[in-house]
């Protein structure tokens, strides 16, 4: 049994298929799910101030001092966790985990101390990250944060597995909108936990630069293609941490964010103002490098810190901060 | 509807001519690559092509899905053999996100890929085009250096903005920098130059 297809029939079928494909494409354009632009999160004032000046604490311990005690003191010194976390709040702790190298990430004990503090204040704690340099879940577990944070009662989320959400950046200069993750958009309190580090491209990487980890890789690529420092500042106008706890138990000097020389400082610095935190910690890093004879940088000239200050994220003006420095042994 | 002996032989001859033609074409074409970036532990290329049975198990087991099957970009005899495609995923064996001895090599049924240690791996070399590099365009980007797992393979030229400098002799060819390069088109490609192949002792 042979079925004959005439040339005419064949061409007709071909034409029909082309028309159907075209119509399908048009229908898809019309009915495809549109990306909704979500409004920016309401901005909150710095909860840690005194007479309108931003508080920054610098607490130094000794190598044998319990790291958790230093972290607790650093937060207490500016006013305690209760100023931002109350019962039933969802708290996201954002460690800076670039790769699976533990030197790059904050010490898991610092993350755990922050998790415990937030939980004691009644918060539900999520440790969330979107690593820039590889698989996030793998990096989080390799640096020891996953097991430590889960043991402390937090949920650990690798953000890249989440759906994306487009958010407005009303104050942005280089970016007007940004994609982020529901965990970040829906949380009540955001706590940034970076390590004190040098960075070859952005000079330093602390709290402001840490916010690169609440956006997907596609946005990080866009930032690098645009103007990184301005993008970091813009991002922080929309997603600003309520508290920054900088891990300077060991600081990365000379180069970074990977492969620098680790210098023991046994220090934790905390602030409700990420710009003030970055400005003060950058100063400390520069002083440390000066003492070690490492060619350093101008802490008043870090572009993304100054750009964030210009957009009103926080202050770089020393007369508008109060630095509380203590040693606990 | 049978097939005559004549038709069968004609088909056979046609196929042979087509294959020969493709091979000739790949000699002329500048796009066809004689050498491919092979998964870690690959034996020398001549043996590799003979030993690899194109089963695709290495693709399946790769934790980062960095392995793809070579298509027409390769020479005819290499079509269907595995190669590393860093734009799909980097090989994270050197960095440690794989099994001891490399997962692909552990599962290879014919020994075309041989288990090896982290220190032995050298799949190729990252090739850098400064005219596509964002840092060389004056932008703040040093993502390649940030993500490179090999000490000293990428250093930084202190300049404003800082620029990356590549040291091919230290590069292990994992493709992590290529994967993360945010430039469009990418300023980095992964080539098979300098690859260290395992000895076939079969």
Q: Which pLDDT score is estimated for B39?
A: 96
Chain segment B62-86, per-residue pLDDT in tens: 999 999 999 888 888 888 999 999 9
Q: Are A254 and A176 within one domain?
A: yes
The answer to whether B106 and B115 have CB atoms below 8 angstroms apart is yes
For A35-45, how does the pLDDT look when each residue is reduced to its tens digit (9 = 90+)? 889 999 998 99
Q: What whole-number distance in Å separates Cα of residue B176 and Cα of residue B95?
A: 9
Nearest neighbour of A133 by CB, restricted to B96, B146, B183: B146
**A164 and A51 inside one domain:** yes
Query: Least CB-CB distance to B182: which of A200, A224, A303?
Result: A224
Task: Report residue B72 as tokens.
Answer: 């027409």
How far is the C-alpha of A98 from the C-alpha of A132, rounded, in Å? Answer: 5
Judge if A18 and A99 occupy the same domain: no
B151 interface with A at CB cutoff 8 Å? yes
Determine the pLDDT at residue A274. Answer: 97
Q: pLDDT at position B28, please?
A: 67
Report the share of chain B in percent with pLDDT over 90: 78
Confidence at residue B34, expressed as pLDDT on a 0 to 100 scale? 66
Q: What is the pLDDT of residue A317?
A: 95
Does B143 reach chain A within 8 Å, measured CB to CB? yes
| B31 has a pLDDT exceeding 70 | no
Do A271 and A300 reside in the same domain of the chain?
yes
CB contact (8 A) between residue B96 and residue A98? no
The pTM of the full predicted model, rounded to 2 decimals, is 0.88
Average pLDDT of span B96-102: 90
Q: Where are the domains of chain B?
A: 33-191
User: How many whole angstroms separate alpha carbon B175 and alpha carbon B92?
Assistant: 9
Nearest-5° Cα angle at B162, A140 to B89: 40
Say if residue A230 is in the same domain as residue A196. Answer: yes
Query: Locate tokens 């092979």: which residue?
Result: B38
CA B81 from centroid of its chain's CA atoms: 11
List, in order, residues 6 or more apart from A292 with CB less than 8 Å away: A253, A263
pLDDT tens per residue across span B110-153? 999 999 999 999 999 999 999 999 999 999 999 999 999 999 99
Is A15 in the same domain as A108? no
Strand partners, A180: A165
Asked if B140 lies within 8 A of A227 by C-beta distance, the reply is: yes
Say what the pLDDT of residue B160 is.
83
Same domain, A89 and A7: no
Whether residue A172 sits in one domain with residue A306: yes
pLDDT in tens, B179-195: 999 999 999 999 999 99
Give pLDDT, residue B3. Answer: 87
Query: What's residue B1's pLDDT?
Result: 64
| Mean pLDDT of the A242-260 span | 93
Question: Same domain, yes or no, for A56 and A144?
Answer: yes
Could you tell me the CA-to-CA distances from B43 to A44, A88, B110 in Å, in that order?
60, 59, 11
Mean pLDDT across B9-20: 92
Q: What is the CATH number of the domain that holds A164?
A: 3.40.50.11440
Please count the CA atoms within 13 angstroms of the CA of A277 that sit on its side-chain side.
36
Long-range contacts of B112-117 (CB under 8 A, 24+ apart): B112/B42, B112/B43, B112/B47, B112/B48, B112/B51, B112/B52, B112/B53, B113/B38, B113/B39, B113/B40, B113/B41, B113/B42, B113/B43, B113/B58, B113/B198, B114/B41, B114/B42, B114/B43, B114/B198, B115/B41, B116/B40, B116/B41, B116/B198
pLDDT of the residue at B29: 59
- Number of A to B CB contacts under 8 A, please give it: 69
Chain A CB contacts of B145 below 8 Å: 200, 258
What integer pLDDT is reported at residue A144 of this predicted model?
Answer: 96
Domain count, chain A: 2
Chain A contact for B184, CB < 8 A? yes
A218 pLDDT more than 90: yes
Q: Mean pLDDT for chain B? A: 91
Is the CB of residue A142 less than 8 Å away from at least one CB of chain B? Answer: yes
Q: Do B180 and A227 touch (CB under 8 A)?
A: no
Q: How far apart are CA A198 and CA A261, in angstroms?
A: 10
Give start and end residues of each alpha helix (H) in chain B: 5-28, 45-51, 57-61, 103-107, 143-147, 176-180
pLDDT in tens, A71-87: 999 999 999 999 999 99
**Model confidence band, residue A314 (pLDDT cutoffs 50, 70, 90):** very high
A259 pLDDT higher than 90: no
pLDDT at B30: 57
pLDDT of residue A326: 95
Contacting residues for A108 by C-beta, under 8 A, at least 6 apart: A143, A144, A145, A148, A149
Residue A258 domain boundaries: 36-327
In this complex, is the C-beta atom of A298 within 8 Å of any C-beta atom belonging to chain B? no
CA-to-CA distance for B173 and B154, rounded, in angstroms?
A: 12
Across the interface, which of B92, B141, B182 has its CB nearest the CB of A134? B92
A220 near B CB under 8 A: yes
Q: Is the pLDDT of residue A183 over 70?
A: yes
Q: Residue A212: its pLDDT value, please?
A: 95
């Amino acid at each position: 049994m042979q079925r004959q297809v005439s040339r005419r029939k064949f061409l007709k079928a071909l034409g029909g298929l082309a028309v159907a494909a075209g119509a399908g494409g048009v229908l898809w354009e019309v009915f495809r799910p549109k990306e909704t632009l979500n409004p920016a999160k309401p901005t909150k004032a710095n909860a840690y101030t005194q007479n309108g000046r931003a508080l920054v604490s610098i607490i130094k311990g000794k190598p044998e001092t319990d790291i958790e005690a230093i972290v607790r003191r650093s937060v207490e010194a500016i006013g305690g966790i209760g100023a931002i976390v109350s019962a039933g709040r969802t708290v996201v702790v954002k460690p800076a985990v670039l790769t699976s190298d533990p030197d790059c990430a904050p010490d898991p004990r610092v993350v755990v101390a922050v998790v415990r503090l937030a939980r004691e204040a009644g918060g539900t704690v999520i440790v969330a990250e979107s690593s820039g340099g590889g698989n996030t879940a793998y990096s989080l577990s390799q640096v020891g944060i996953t097991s430590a944070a889960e043991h402390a009662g937090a949920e650990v989320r690798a953000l890249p597995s989440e759906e994306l959400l487009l958010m407005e950046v009303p104050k942005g200069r280089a970016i007007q909108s940004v994609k982020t993750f529901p965990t970040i958009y829906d949380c009540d309190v955001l706590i940034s936990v970076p390590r004190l580090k040098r960075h070859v491209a952005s000079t330093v990487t602390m709290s402001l630069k840490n916010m690169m980890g609440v956006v997907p890789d596609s946005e990080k690529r866009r930032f690098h293609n645009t103007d990184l420092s301005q993008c970091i500042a813009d991002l922080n106008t929309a997603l600003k941490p309520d508290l920054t706890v900088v891990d300077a138990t060991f600081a990365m000097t000379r180069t970074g964010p990977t492969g620098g020389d680790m210098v023991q400082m046994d220090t934790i610095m905390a602030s409700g103002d990420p710009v003030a935190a970055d400005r003060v910690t950058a100063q400390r890093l520069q002083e440390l490098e000066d003492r070690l004879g490492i060619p350093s940088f101008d802490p008043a000239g870090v572009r993304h810190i100054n750009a964030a200050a210009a957009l009103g994220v926080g202050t770089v003006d020393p007369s508008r901060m109060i630095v509380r420095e203590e040693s606990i042994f | 509807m049978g097939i005559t002996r004549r038709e069968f032989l004609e088909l056979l001859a046609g196929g042979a001519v087509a294959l020969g033609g493709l091979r000739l074409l790949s000699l002329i074409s500048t796009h066809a690559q004689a050498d491919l970036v092979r998964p870690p532990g690959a034996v020398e290329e001549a043996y590799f092509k003979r030993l690899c049975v194109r089963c695709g198990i290495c693709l399946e087991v790769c934790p980062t899905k960095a392995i793809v099957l070579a298509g027409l970009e390769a020479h005819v005899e290499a079509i269907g053999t595995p190669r590393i495609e860093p734009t799909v995923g980097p090989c994270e064996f050197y960095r440690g996100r794989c099994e001891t001895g490399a997962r692909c090599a552990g599962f290879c049924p014919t020994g075309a890929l041989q288990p090896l240690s982290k220190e032995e791996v050298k799949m190729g070399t990252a090739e850098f085009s400064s005219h596509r590099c964002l840092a060389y365009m004056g932008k703040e980007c040093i993502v390649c250096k940030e993500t490179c797992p090999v000490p000293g393979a990428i250093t930084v030229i202190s300049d404003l903005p800082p620029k990356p400098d590549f040291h091919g002799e230290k590069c292990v060819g994992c493709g992590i920098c290529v994967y993360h390069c945010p430039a469009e088109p990418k300023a980095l490609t992964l080539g098979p130059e300098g690859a260290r192949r395992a000895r076939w002792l079969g």
